[in-house]
């Protein structure tokens, strides 16, 4: 009979095995040579892009609908943010800070974002590596995910695109690290506070992230293994505090317009997804029509019309019309949204064609200039083969691998973390594709750190991953 686990006194009462020694902190074993190589490759790639004359388009600062006028942000920063209803305030707050530093110089603002976004790329890559280290992934797998994030074409694109997509990506990378820390040690309060704070920041940056993502974050923490800290009085208090912070714009929009969301464009966004909408409703709910008709009331306001109360009331009516049309033909609506999934999981983001980075077509990628137009992809077989379906197949393989690893129990000690990542990714992807029109490329980029973490964990599981969840 084996005597393993028996006390020295021979009493026959089994003792628990000793706890393994505490591992390093999340940034304790970053491996300086691997990080130095990442920095070198990152710098070489960005210098090559610069040498080709690729740069951000400064006109996007003034042209994108999500942006308040720089003049308003410079002259009355807090007043402009306080009156903002169409979008959550955080991104425009960042834009306003840049405007106060640069004045009216759009090139200065765009360049500042480019440099800041490059820093966010590197920080996000390090957080992905650290999170996978906490999850017990092999170092080469953890660094591989970090390299893919930092050196892929999507990172280069969104660093040059002066909108909130790169900021939300960095917040999502932090969420992945916080979940990994909770999975590693679910008794600590600070990773839970970080998870809630980062999720609240997402909600305050982009209206796609509904305040309901705060209780979803609590669920993910629970799934990751932090059940006791989530339900402690301090944990519940954190959820309430950050939930109120994330939900403040939605509460105000509900009181004023009957729209419980951080932004007021949700009804018009949803209308873009509904094929069965009546012709007059479809026309009225188009953003271009709203701009034209509101501009006729307030001449010269242009696309800033979307920030006015008239647009909010129009969006509220569009929400009612869209919900009614979906209720009449739900399966047809869902089938149409399934098509959007394939279009948004391609390698080359297309986003707003008129504001793509200057010189982007010079990069040696398949049909880069036409990649900005979703319709062009469907018409050009070479572009679809080189940059479309293989990329979509990569994401489909991750999804199938995750389901298989969960069903077979191969995630082992990382099962809870994997489940939490899957729930968070699925929620964001669901919100993006069910309730928004044709702009899912940046939505997919937001959760790319979580997707890469999950992919590395799947490979680790297939290789017979570590059962104690600790990195070597």
pLDDT tens-digit readout, 195-230: 999 999 999 999 989 999 999 999 999 999 999 999
pLDDT at 281: 87
Q: Is residue 438 very low, low, confident or very high in pLDDT (cuts 50, 70, 90)?
A: low
**Per-residue model confidence (pLDDT) at position 161:** 92
Least confident window among 105-119, 181-195, 458-472: 458-472
Residue 431 near residue 447 (C-beta atoms within 8 A): no
204, two tokens: 């305050």
Phi/psi-derived region of residue 5, left when phi > 0, alpha when psi is between -120 and 50, beta in every other case: left
What is the DSSP track for 285-301? HSHHHHHHHHHHHSTT-
pLDDT at 57 over 60: yes
Residue 404 CA to its chain's centroid (Å) = 24
**CA-CA-CA-CA torsion sign (146, 148, 152, 155):** negative
pLDDT, tens digit (0-9, with 9 covering 90-100), for 385-394: 455 667 778 8
Distances (CA, A) of 217 to 158, 178, 203, 244, 316: 26, 10, 12, 14, 28
Distance separating alpha carbons of residues 263 and 261, to the nearest angstrom? 5
Residue matched to tokens 């990751």 = 224
- Do 204 and 245 form a contact (C-beta atoms < 8 A)? yes
Q: What is the pLDDT of residue 3?
A: 40
Task: Determine the pLDDT at residue 343.
Answer: 66
Distance (Å, whole) CA 189 – CA 5: 32
What pLDDT shows up at residue 187? 84
Average per-residue pLDDT for the chain: 84
Exposure on the CB side of residue 458, measured as CA atoms within 13 A: 23
Cβ atoms of residues 279 and 221 within 8 Å: no
What pLDDT digit, counting tens, does each position of 266-313 carry? Answer: 999 999 888 888 888 888 999 889 999 998 888 888 888 899 999 999
Residue 369, pLDDT > 60, answer no
> Rounded distance, CA 260 to CA 251, Å?
6
- 398 touches 429 (CB < 8 A): no
- Residue 377 is encoded by which pair of tokens? 């992809």
Residue 260: is its pLDDT beyond 90?
A: yes
Helices (H) and strands (E) in the chain, counts: 24, 0
Instruction: Identify whether the C-beta of residue 58 lies closer than 8 Å to the C-beta of residue 110.
Output: yes
Both tokens of residue 443?
């939505």
Q: What is the CA radius of gyration of the chain?
A: 24
Lowest mean pLDDT among 225-234, 391-400, 459-468: 459-468
Q: How many residues are given for the chain?
A: 472
Q: What average pLDDT does range 109-114 have in this prediction?
A: 95
Q: Give residue 61's pLDDT.
A: 92
Pick 133 or 10 by higher pLDDT: 133
Among the residues of 298-344, which ranges form H helices?
A: 309-328, 330-344
Residue 438: how many CB atoms within 10 A of its CB?
13
On whether the CB atoms of residues 7 and 15 are closer than 8 A, the answer is yes
Beta pairing partners, 55: 358
pLDDT digits (tens, 9 = 90+) for 320-329: 999 999 999 8
Question: Which residues touch 264 (CB under 8 Å, ≥6 apart)?
Answer: 85, 86, 253, 257, 311, 312, 315, 316
Mean pLDDT lowest among 139-143, 184-188, 462-466: 462-466
Among residues 104, 70, 432, which one has the least CA distance to residue 269?
Answer: 432
**pLDDT grade, residue 435 (50/70/90)?**
confident
The C-alpha angle 80, 82, 87, rounded to 5 degrees, equals 85
pLDDT digits (tens, 9 = 90+) for 156-173: 999 999 999 999 999 999
Per-residue model confidence (pLDDT) at position 16: 39
Q: Is the pLDDT of residue 372 over 50?
A: no
The pLDDT assigned to 437 comes to 63
Whether the CB-CB separation of 392 and 346 falls below 8 Å is answered with yes
pLDDT in tens, 77-87: 999 999 999 99
3 state DSSP class of 366: coil
Give 358's DSSP letter.
B
The mean pLDDT of 120-140, rounded to a whole number, is 95
Task: Name the percent of the chain lying above pLDDT 70.
Answer: 84
- pLDDT at residue 275, rounded to an integer: 83
| Lowest-confidence pick of 159-173, 242-256, 394-408 | 394-408
Does residue 67 have a pLDDT over 90?
yes
Coil, helix or strand at residue 28: coil
| Lowest pLDDT segment from 18-32, 98-112, 226-240, 263-277 | 18-32
The kind and range of the H/E element at 353 are none
User: Which is higher by pLDDT, 147 or 369?
Assistant: 147
Would you state the pLDDT for residue 345? Answer: 72
Judged against a pLDDT cut of 50, whether residue 370 lies above it is answered with no
């Amino acid at each position: 009979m084996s005597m393993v686990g028996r006390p020295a006194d021979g009493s026959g009462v089994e003792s628990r095995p000793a706890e393994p020694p505490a591992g390093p902190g999340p940034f304790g074993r970053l491996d300086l040579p691997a990080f130095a190589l990442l920095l070198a490759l990152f710098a070489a790639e960005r210098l090559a892009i610069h040498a080709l004359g690729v740069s951000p388009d400064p006109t996007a600062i003034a042209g994108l609908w999500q942006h308040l006028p720089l003049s308003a942000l410079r002259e009355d920063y807090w007043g402009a943010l306080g009156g903002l209803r169409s979008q959550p305030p955080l991104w425009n707050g960042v834009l306003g800070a840049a405007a106060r530093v640069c004045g009216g110089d759009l090139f200065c603002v765009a360049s500042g974002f480019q440099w800041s976004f490059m820093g966010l790329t590197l920080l996000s890559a390090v957080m992905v590596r650290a999170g996978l280290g906490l999850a017990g992934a092999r170092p080469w797998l953890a660094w591989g995910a970090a390299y893919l994030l930092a050196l892929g074409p999507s990172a280069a694109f969104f660093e040059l695109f002066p909108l909130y997509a790169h900021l939300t990506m960095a917040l999502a990378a932090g969420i992945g690290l916080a979940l990994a820390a909770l999975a590693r040690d679910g008794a600590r309060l600070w990773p839970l506070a970080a998870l809630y704070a980062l999720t609240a920041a997402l909600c305050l940056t982009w209206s796609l992230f509904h305040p309901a993502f705060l209780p979803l974050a609590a669920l993910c923490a629970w799934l990751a293994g932090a059940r006791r800290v989530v339900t402690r009085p301090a944990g519940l208090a954190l959820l309430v505090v950050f939930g109120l912070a994330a939900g403040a714009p939605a509460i105000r929009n509900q009181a004023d317009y009957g729209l419980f969301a951080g932004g007021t464009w949700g009804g018009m966004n949803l209308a873009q997804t509904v094929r069965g909408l009546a012709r007059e409703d479809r026309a009225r709910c188009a953003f271009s029509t709203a701009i034209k008709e509101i501009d006729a009331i307030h001449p010269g306001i242009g696309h800033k019309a979307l920030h006015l109360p008239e647009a909010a009331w129009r969006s509220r009516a569009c929400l009612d019309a869209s919900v009614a049309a979906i209720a009449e033909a739900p399966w047809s609506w869902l089938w149409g949204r399934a098509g959007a999934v394939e279009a948004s999981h391609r390698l080359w983001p297309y986003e707003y064609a008129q504001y793509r980075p200057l010189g982007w077509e010079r990069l040696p990628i398949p049909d880069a200039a036409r990649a900005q137009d979703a319709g062009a992809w469907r018409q050009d077989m070479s572009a679809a083969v080189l940059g479309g379906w293989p990329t979509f197949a990569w994401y489909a393989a991750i999804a199938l691998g995750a389901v298989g690893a969960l069903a077979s129990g191969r995630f082992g000690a990382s099962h809870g973390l994997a489940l939490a990542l899957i729930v968070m990714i699925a929620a964001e992807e669901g919100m993006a594709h069910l309730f928004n029109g044709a702009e899912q490329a940046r939505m997919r980029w937001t959760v790319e750190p979580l997707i890469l973490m999950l992919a590395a964990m799947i490979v680790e599981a297939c290789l017979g991953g570590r059962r104690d969840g600790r990195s070597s």
